[in-house]
Structure 1
Amino acid sequence: MAKCAICEKSAHFGNAVSHSHRRSNKIWNANVKSVRVKVEGGSKKMYVCTSCLRSGAVERA
């Protein structure tokens, strides 16, 4: 499971509940992309969530 390098957002766990109210495990994955980012004069590849990309928390290389 990938985790955002900026805000550390990752997957959440819970139950999927059917119509008959039976429960099974469910995972909600964060919308994380592999992006090349400008870091310290160079570029580095890291996992960043789309909310951090849209907010401008990182600058693409």
Structure 2
Amino acid sequence: MARKCDVCGKGVITGYKYSHSHIRTKRKWKPNLQRVRIVVGGSPRRILVCTRCLRSGKVKRAI
């Protein structure tokens, strides 16, 4: 399962962590994904959605 939002496509971003002495090491920033039930085509489904999409109302949650 890919760590990617099914609505907007936000995924893992890579970059460098800099120490005080400027030694660089690779690191990752992961999106805050939540497993939610939404209505797709009249039936509920579980998908991964980032919290920004949830907060902005881009998905309709199933109750």
Scaled by the length of structure 1, the TM-score of the pair is 0.95
Task: Give unpaired runs (5+ residues) of structure 1.
Answer: none
Q: Distance in 2 between matches of 1:6 and 1:14?
A: 24
Alignment gaps of 5+ in structure 2: none
1:1-53 residue CA offsets vs partner (Å, 9 max, x unmatched): 41000100001000000001001011000111111111111100000000000
Using structure 2 for the length normalisation, give the TM-score. Answer: 0.92
Q: Percent identity?
A: 44
